[in-house]
């Protein structure tokens, strides 16, 4: 199965920029690209920081932009959001029994668990006891169903090497204990850092989604002691899941890099090589070879 992801959209009320960027237009371009090229995705997760300041006017704007998007949406909130304003704007979005914006997508290829790490008045993320208990129960559900689970947070529980590590999921140790208690956790996904990274944490693979807003460059701390933030490319993410593997593709929907001239590649030869499964003798014998 395929799912797609969009993260850190930072929508502001109509007509306003966010950090000098038109975040509404960037989200529109991301969604148009996904609708055109990935409409076979089972769901699209929006991994938090939907709005820049969590205000009702921004959520109205966000609702207008996502209206009519053909892929089923799973919406999470981040530190820039506001849980009550979000719930007022999107009353049909699922929440858990305690009102946290947490839900599960049950798929033939496993359970996809979307967590709410928003904590009012904080930039770092929190998973309180009630949220952790919910996560533990959902992982138990997946275990009983005999399938794997992918777990999504806005705030990564792992460190990515920059100053933002101070603003990650503060309850990372408790989160790690819950995840480690289940042997069927296949992958962690997160947003928040506006920078693509992947690795393992406590033996669990993770990937951080790039943002549709600006993305941070390297070095993680620039010469002036601050992050370097870039207008492009911006990213959505395409993830392919089957019982054997999970593959995460960064999708540079906003990419102003020039393409390498197609004339530099002999496509007839490449097609023949692929048809032969990589056997070079197959293209030596063709006219193209």
Site for Fe ion in 35-64 (CB under 5 A): 49
Q: Could you please report the per-residue DSSP string of 162-176?
A: SGGGGGSBTTHHHHH
What is the maximal distance between C-alpha atoms in the chain?
68
How far is Cα 116 from Cα 45, in angstroms, rounded to an integer?
Answer: 13
How far is Cα 188 from Cα 204, in angstroms, rounded to an integer?
Answer: 7
Min CB(94)–Fe ion separation in Å: 21
How far is Cα 109 from Cα 130, in angstroms, rounded to an integer?
Answer: 27
How far is Cα 43 from Cα 46, in angstroms, rounded to an integer?
Answer: 10
Q: Does 192 bind Fe ion (CB under 5 A)?
A: yes
Nearer to Fe ion, 240 or 250 (CB): 250
Among positions 54, 78, 148, 210, the unique one binding Fe ion when judged by CB under 5 A: 78
Looking at 74-82, 170-178, 224-232, 273-281, which segment touches Fe ion (CB under 5 A)?
Answer: 74-82
Min CB(125)–Fe ion separation in Å: 8
Min CB(151)–Fe ion separation in Å: 17
How far is Cα 193 from Cα 198, in angstroms, rounded to an integer?
Answer: 12
Nearer to Fe ion, 235 or 283 (CB): 235
How far is Cα 240 from Cα 5, in angstroms, rounded to an integer?
Answer: 11
How far is Cα 182 from Cα 139, in angstroms, rounded to an integer?
Answer: 7
Min CB(238)–Fe ion separation in Å: 20
Nearer to Fe ion, 8 or 171 (CB): 8
Q: Angle at the Cα of 248 (from 152 to 265), degrees rounded to 5?
A: 160
Number of residues that bind Fe ion (CB under 5 A): 5
Nearer to Fe ion, 31 or 272 (CB): 31
Looking at 4-12, 17-25, 29-37, 69-77, which segment touches Fe ion (CB under 5 A)?
Answer: 4-12
Nearer to Fe ion, 8 or 119 (CB): 8
Extract the tokens encoding 178. Answer: 């819950």
Looking at 50-58, 78-86, 225-233, 272-280, which segment touches Fe ion (CB under 5 A)?
Answer: 78-86
Site for Fe ion in 135-164 (CB under 5 A): none
Paired strand residues for 250: 237
Min CB(78)–Fe ion separation in Å: 4
Site for Fe ion in 79-118 (CB under 5 A): 79
Q: Can you give 90-142 as a three-state secondary structure string?
A: CCCCCCCCCCCCCEEEEECCEEEEECCCCCCCCCCECCCHHHHHHHHHHHHHH
Looking at 53-61, 89-97, 172-180, 186-194, which segment touches Fe ion (CB under 5 A)?
Answer: 186-194
Site for Fe ion in 240-269 (CB under 5 A): none
Positions touching Fe ion (CB under 5 A) are: 8, 49, 78-79, 192
């Amino acid at each position: 199965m395929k799912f797609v992801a969009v993260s850190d959209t930072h929508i502001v009320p109509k007509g306003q920029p966010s950090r000098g960027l038109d975040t509404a237009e960037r989200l529109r371009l991301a969604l148009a690209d996904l609708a055109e090229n990935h409409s076979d995705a089972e769901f699209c997760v929006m991994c938090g920081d939907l709005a820049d300041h969590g205000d009702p006017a921004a959520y109205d704007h966000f609702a207008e932009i996502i209206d009519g998007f053909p892929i089923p949406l799973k919406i999470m909130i981040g530190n820039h959001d506001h849980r009550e304003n979000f719930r007022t704007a999107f009353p049909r979005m699922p929440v858990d029994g305690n009102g946290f914006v947490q839900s599960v997508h049950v798929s033939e290829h496993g359970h996809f668990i979307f967590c709410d790490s928003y904590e009012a008045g904080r930039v770092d993320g929190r998973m309180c006891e009630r949220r952790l208990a919910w996560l533990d129960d959902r992982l138990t559900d997946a275990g009983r169903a005999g399938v794997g689970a992918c777990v999504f947070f806005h705030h990564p529980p792992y460190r990515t090497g920059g100053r933002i590590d101070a603003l990650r999921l503060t309850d990372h140790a408790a989160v790690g204990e819950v995840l480690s208690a289940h042997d069927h956790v296949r992958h962690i996904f997160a947003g928040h850092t506006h920078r693509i990274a992947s690795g393992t944490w406590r033996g669990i693979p993770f990937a951080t989604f790039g943002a549709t807003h600006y993305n941070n460059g390297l070095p993680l701390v620039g010469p002036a002691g601050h992050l370097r933030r870039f207008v492009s490319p911006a990213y959505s993410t395409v993830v392919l899941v089957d019982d054997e593997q999970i593959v995460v593709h960064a999708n540079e929907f906003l990419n102003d890099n020039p393409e390498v001239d197609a004339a530099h590649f002999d496509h007839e030869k490449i097609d023949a090589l692929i048809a032969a499964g990589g056997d070079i003798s197959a293209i030596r014998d063709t006219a193209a070879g």
